[in-house]
Amino acid sequence: MRIISKMGAGLAAVTMTAGIALAGNANQIVVDGSTTVGPVAKAFAEYYMGKHPGVNITVSESGSGNGAKSLINAACDVATMSRAMKNSEVKAAQDAGVLPIEKVVAMDGLSVIVHPSNPVANLTLAQIRDIYTGKIANWKDLGGPDQAIVIISRDTNSGTYESFQTLVMNQAKLTGKAEYVGSNGAVRQRVMSTPAAIGYVGLAFTEGVKALQVNGVEATPETVTAKTYPISRALYMYTNGRPKEGTPLFDFVNFCDTPEGMKIIQDTGFVVKK
């Protein structure tokens, strides 16, 4: 874990238990944020509650940006994020008396996905950017069928969208023809049902679709760890202050460092950090 300075970067949804958790009940933990980190957080929670029946952990997936807002507003104990906190979020937190502590829990490769029937197997970052700006509009220009490209994007509150904007788009504006959806799973479903579609998701959301090589590199645990896959990123949990050692909150946030936590990370399709 590290302190963020002003210059630094089946579970129920959140309910009124948030007030109980943040009022000092150490056995209540409320988690909110990224749909990418969601499967890991849910699996961590399920495992931990199985070992500690007196602890209740609720997980909500409202997006990385909303996770940050929840932490700032004292509505959650853990904000899960698929990007680092922005300077503006850190400042808002500090202005509210919240001290964000960052924990990298896993690594991820942002997978560019197409329908399994699409013959295209590799795109460069420049080609992906040109698709999403609208400069390339037909698969035939990329060695594929003569079909207009259906562009699927995550919603703008998503950490996955923010990562894509930074790592692929260089902050270029997406074409007005792009369709925005609210989760990694929704992107996958849209691409699975649409032969001409393209989308981007976390590494754990590629079942049933075709993940493309990017700049000739396949997204694997090895290439993500080595950062040779060009769209690699870290996944985070944030807390208000450093959790007290020995508490359920400390154990939950640091569960990624245990053998059981590492196995869960791998089983959910993500990459154990080095």
**Domains by residue range for the chain, with CATH:** 2-107+235-267 (3.40.190.10), 111-218 (3.40.190.10)
Per the rule left: phi > 0, alpha: psi between -120 and 50, beta: everything else, 53 is alpha
Residue 26 confidence class, pLDDT cut points 50, 70, 90: confident
Report the C-alpha gap between 187 and 182 in whole angstroms: 8
Q: Where are the beta strands (DSSP E) in the chain?
A: 2-3, 28-33, 56-60, 78-81, 100-109, 111-114, 122-123, 150-154, 179-181, 197-201, 210-211, 213-214, 232-240
Compute the average pLDDT of residues 144-162: 96
Judged against a pLDDT cut of 90, whether residue 165 lies above it is answered with yes
Predicted local confidence at residue 1, as pLDDT: 55
pLDDT at 7 over 60: no
- Evaluate whether 237 touches 255 at the Cβ level (below 8 Å): no
At position 207, the amino acid (one-letter code) is: E
Confidence at residue 9, expressed as pLDDT on a 0 to 100 scale:
33
Between helix 259-267 and helix 38-51 the angle, nearest 10°, is: 140
Nearest residue to 79 (alpha-carbon basis) of 251, 240, 247, 241 = 240
Confidence of residue 24 (pLDDT cuts 50, 70, 90): low
Using CA atoms, how far residue 274 sits from 98, 104, 111, 256, in Å, is 29, 10, 20, 11
Mean pLDDT calculated for residue range 214-228:
95
Give pLDDT tens digits for 105-149. 999 999 999 999 999 999 999 999 999 999 999 999 999 999 999
Give me the pLDDT at residue 110, please.
Answer: 96
Q: What is the pLDDT of residue 67?
A: 97
Looking at every residue in the chain, the average pLDDT score rounds to 91
- Mapped onto helix, strand or coil, the DSSP state of residue 250 is helix
Which H/E stretch holds residue 253?
Answer: helix 248-253
Q: What is the pLDDT of residue 177?
A: 96
Is the pLDDT confidence value at 197 over 50?
yes
pTM for this structure?
A: 0.87
pLDDT the model gives residue 274? 84
pLDDT band at 25 (very low <50, low <70, confident <90, very high): confident
Nearest in space to 37 (alpha carbons), one of 155, 153, 160, 152: 160
pLDDT digits (tens, 9 = 90+) for 233-273: 999 999 999 999 999 999 999 999 999 999 999 999 999 99
What are the structure tokens assigned to 204, written together?
């754990």
Distance CA 99, CA 6 (A): 10
| Residue 10 confidence (pLDDT) | 33
Element (H, E) at 160: helix 159-164
